[in-house]
Amino acid sequence: MSESVNVNPAIRSPSLNEQAYRAFRHRLITLRYKPGDYLNTAQVMEDLAMGRTPVNQAIHRLATEGLLQIIPRKGVMVAPLSIDDALELIEVRLVNETLCAQLASQKVDKAHIIALRELNQQIAAASEARDREKMMLLDREFHQVLAEIAGNRRLADILSVIHAQAQRFWAMTLSSVSHMDEVIAEHDEIIAALAAGDTQRAAEAARAHIYSFKRALLAT
């Protein structure tokens, strides 16, 4: 029997540094802070209701993840978005998310399938309500659960960074109702492949999901 992964562990209260990082990151991936904008640290501190130290820690952490750029003598800039960056990111996603789906198909259990189905239902509800931000948060959780099921911590760390970068591009495609419907259907196919324990089908479903993202992005 495969080792069960607890997809809903009890969460300890995060440190101030972690809270600042998560809140800052959320504003970046949902495009509240626009690509190419220069950020005033004092304004960010006010937005996040956080002190200078945790905000500065978050800035350096987010810079290493490619979401911010620290410009000498100018300050902090939200990393710009370019189609070349997106295409490179898609290549990296194809390798890592395919591996994630394959590993998950070998370790998944009934509780995981239930959790994934419930998440996708919530994504569908957010789509119906045209709540883009909630849909993005739930989509991120869906992929986090997949990474947890896969059971490879190093892969999960890589995917966390990749998804944060990808979601900034994805935010630009979510005005399309048809693409939102595609995402939900693609998640259903990933879940079905995992439930069947079919490694090849899971890999194909993951690749189809990424190629759908690519088509939607190039169409914007």
Residues 12-43: pLDDT tens digits?
A: 678 999 999 999 999 999 889 999 999 999 99
Mean pLDDT of 152-172: 91
Cβ–Cβ under 8 Å, residues 106 and 149: no
pLDDT of residue 218: 86
* Structural Rg of the chain based on CA atoms: 18
The model's confidence at residue 10, banded by pLDDT at 50, 70 and 90, is very low
Mean pLDDT in residue range 86-108: 96
Task: Name, in order, each residue with C-beta under 8 angstroms of 94's C-beta and a sequence gap of 6 or more.
Answer: 207, 210
Tens digit of each residue's pLDDT (9 = 90 or more) over 202-220:
999 999 999 999 998 888 7
Sheet holding 38-39, edge to edge: 38-39, 75-78, 68-71
Residue 7 pLDDT level (bands cut at 50, 70, 90):
very low
Name the band, by pLDDT with cuts 50, 70 and 90, for residue 9. very low
Q: Which pLDDT does position 5 carry in this prediction?
A: 44
Angle among Cα 122, 127, 130 to the nearest 5 degrees reads 130
- DSSP single-letter state for residue 104: H
* Residue in this structure with the two tokens 């993840």, named with its chain if needed: 65
Read off the pLDDT band of 172 (50, 70, 90). confident
The chain-wide mean pLDDT, for the chain, equals: 90
pLDDT-above-90 percentage for the chain:
74
Band of pLDDT at residue 1, cut at 50, 70 and 90 = very low
For tokens 């189809």, name the residue: 208
pLDDT of residue 175: 63
Q: Does pLDDT of 8 surpass 70?
A: no
Residue 220 has which token pair?
């914007």
Which ranges in 4-109 belong to alpha helices (H)? 16-29, 41-48, 52-64, 83-107
